[in-house]
Amino acid sequence: MNWVSTSVRPGTYAEPPSLREVEWRSATLPARGHDDDDHWFRTRVTAPGESILRFGGLATVCDVFVDGERVLRSESMFLAHDLPIGPGDHEIVVCARALTPLLGVARKPRARWRSRVPVDGNLRWFRTSLLGRAPGFSPGPPIVGPWRPVTLVDPTSPQVEVRTFLNGRDGVVTVRSAESAGDLEVTIGGLVERLPAGGGTVRVVAPSLWWPHTHGEPVLHEVQIRADAGEVRQKVGFRTITHAADLEHGGLDLHVNDVAVFARGAVWTPTPPGEVRATLERARDAGLNMVRIVGSMVYEDATFHDACDELGLLVWQDLMFANMDYPFVDEAFAALVEEELRQSLREVAGRPSLAVVCGNSEVEQQVAMLGLPFDLGRQEFFYSRVPELLRAAEIEVPYLPSAPTGGTRPFRADRGVANYFGVGAYLRDLGDVRRAGVLFASECLAFANVPDDDPPDRSTGVMRDVGAGWDFADVRDHYLGILYGVAPEAPGYWDCARNVTGELMSFVFGEWRRAGSPCSGGLILWLRDLAPGAGWGLLDSDGRPKAAWFHVRRALAPIAVWFVEEGLNGLAVQVANDRASTLHTTLRLALYRDERLLVEEVETPLIIGPHSAIEHDAEELLGRFVDIGYTYRFGEMQHDTVVATLLQDGAELSKAFYSLGRDARRDRVSADELGLRVKAVSMAEGAFEVQLGATRVVHGLRLRAPGFEPDDDSFDLEPARERRVVIRALTAGSRPSAVRVSAIELGDEFEVPVA
């Protein structure tokens, strides 16, 4: 539907005005906040017959008029509404009432504690999103008016609910419908069964299972349901999801189909229409296998959940509560919320991608960090009523009352589920990652990730905690000084700034993913930026990968090799094989001096079972002690770079670097001094291949061509080992002319023409 919208001062109209009046009034208004005005939306629809007008969501306190008559008041943006309308043309008007005057009305009970996250603590009374109303991470504008589709629905179309379960190795499909729909014919695979009015169950013998994409194939089965009034098709999956019985001491140790899954993911932010699937594909391609719909945002629709089912992405579903003391003791508020949850849980119930349901975001943490009694944050609604609603919806996945939660302090890292920002906002040293003993990080690794905009801007899009004297660019620069010895005003600062946050993420996930780690997962804050600039996102606000995205993709690939420093115990070489088949590979270990001279090399065949990880002592692989991490410091350093490569039939599956000579990155040198050779050759369909080689290690090498994207970027280049990178057009018909080459220690970037 095409809406015409405008804003007027609150209280100006009690009935829908004509469009001419609204436009005139709007033109005389001063600039005001979005919550200060009434917002009117007007459209026309033509119903072919008796129909249902379905409002997917109205933000936030809205009146709906049909042909001049008020027929609905909605007080929750999270509720859908069905209105019957007759055949013919109809004028539909929605008035989203100004929220500011409503926030000023005193209500009881008073809040037992106050949060600085929302713009107004009285938002706790209104079922609306903090998106656009939280200065620290989403200053505005807020969502107002018909924010979900408004559609015409045939009231005679069959309405069915489908659930799937596993009973041993067999699948069970449960179908329910209204008795009035009559008998049902259910088809799944080659099986056809008749069910009586109201529905029943169908048994599927040994179906292929649904897996997160990192661990197997996300197999879906189409169910076709025929009734007298029509036909419904739906895709379903079969899988089991369990977690550690002792959440406090075992964390959220997820097992899918009885296989332990290291859950790595990111917090989801609402994405422009038409870009949801592409953004989720970016998450999958980065090696992530989970997305968290966080309680400060909005519930997602069927388009989102269908894509997660198909792409093999696990979904952590928060209920939309965050950072406030919600008045569940108020009967009207509780009733509104319960209907919201019944509708929202119906959308996700039965989906194979649903892995976790969480009652709220940071309510328990907020109370504890204010120094108040912990029990104030543990509201009965989240501990007793929500589990009842989950059972009623037949949702059998791990449930958390809050995130973080567990332990005497809900934010304690080594209990339950925690938000970990030790390496991050709290400026802890890298060793804190292991000392903290994180079991599962529901949020982590928030950095001001620099996009590829030229020239970049220091402050645009950078997040700042409310009341803090620092922002997340300061956090990034802190670690930039520690790891690279680079100050904000130094030459090459932006190249280093783009690279360092990805290195930090790789390091942290390497610690958490290693064999023997107590950690079973972590979720980056967040996947995609809401606005342009250096936000928390791995992707910028247009959905393009930042340098950090490429680091994460290498670190979290289903098949990966990486180093973990073990102090006097040397270097541990970690290898993971998340795939469902045994991996036959060769591990190559190489040591370089002065980042250019190969001083030692060894190859070892490895056989790694499915869904497993192994650890090797690097010096054991070499067969002798070489002080590989230069921890004993006997005499001069004999090597400064260690490279591990997984090979299969000569092809590289994964590569990792360990550098002992980071200070060398402060020296800006020429391409000739690096021995850097770059050649770009055209390929079919607008793609081109870049062939690279160098006589010494090149750190953070980047390849950029407007309208094109490389299959790898921000990587280190090993001496005397040719590297080929394919760069593909983002839109059909694009023709490459040149590629820009830059690196951390490269004095000046340069262009290479595409031959």
Residue 663, number of CB atoms within 10 A of its CB: 11
- Measured between alpha carbons, how far is 510 from 564 in angstroms, rounded to an integer? 7
Q: Which CATH superfamily is domain 244-555 in?
A: Glycosidases (3.20.20.80)
Say how far apart CA 10 and CA 93 lie, in whole Å. Answer: 16
* Domain 559-665 fold: Immunoglobulin-like (2.60.40)
Amino acid at 392: A
Instruction: Tell me whether strands 723-729 and 708-710 are parallel, antiparallel or unpaired.
Output: antiparallel
Give residue 25's pLDDT: 36
Query: What's this model's pTM, rounded to 2 decimal places?
Result: 0.95
Mean pLDDT per 10-residue segment, the chain (755 residues): 67 50 38 80 93 95 96 97 95 94 93 91 96 88 92 89 94 92 91 93 96 98 92 95 87 96 98 95 98 97 97 98 97 97 96 98 95 93 98 96 92 94 96 97 97 81 88 96 89 92 97 95 97 95 96 98 96 98 98 96 97 96 95 91 96 96 68 96 90 96 94 97 95 87 92 93
Write down the pLDDT at residue 19: 41
C-alpha 311/C-alpha 324 separation (Å) is: 34
Measured CA to CA in angstroms, residue 89 lies from 18, 30, 92, 145, 153 at distances of 17, 35, 10, 22, 15
Kindly calculate the radius of gyration of the chain based on its CA atoms and give it in whole angstroms: 28
Best CA proximity match to 550, nearest among 425, 717, 690, 700:
700
Contact 659, 630 (CB under 8 A): no
Fold classification of 160-236 is Immunoglobulin-like (2.60.40)
Instruction: Let me know: does 130 contact 138? Beta carbons within 8 Å.
Output: yes
129, 194 Cβ separation under 8 angstroms: no
- Residue 559: per-residue pLDDT: 98
pLDDT at 408: 84
Q: Which candidate, 705, 706, 669, places its Cα nearest to that of 492?
A: 669
Do residues 589 and 642 make contact, with C-beta atoms less than 8 angstroms apart? yes
Q: Which fold has domain 4-153?
A: Jelly Rolls (2.60.120)
Quick one: tokens of 411?
């934010």
Q: CATH 2.60.40.10 occupies which residues in the chain? A: 160-236, 559-665, 668-753
- For residue 679 the two structure tokens come to 């050649």
- Model pLDDT, residue 27: 36
Portions of the chain given CATH number 2.60.120.260: 4-153
The dihedrals phi and psi of 647, each to the nearest 5 degrees, come to: -120, 145
Which pLDDT value is given to residue 9? 62
How many helices, marked H, and strands, marked E, lie in the chain? 15, 43
* Superfamily of chain region 668-753: Immunoglobulins (2.60.40.10)
Alpha-carbon distances, residue 659 vs 359, 644, 716, 738 (angstroms)? 43, 12, 11, 31
Q: Identify the three-state secondary structure at position 204.
A: strand
**Quick one: tokens of 508?**
């942290």
Query: What is the rounded distance in angstroms from the CA atom of residue 103 to the CA atom of residue 273?
Result: 30
Q: How many CB atoms lie within 10 A of CB 149?
A: 13
Distance from first CA to last CA of the chain, Å, rounded? 49
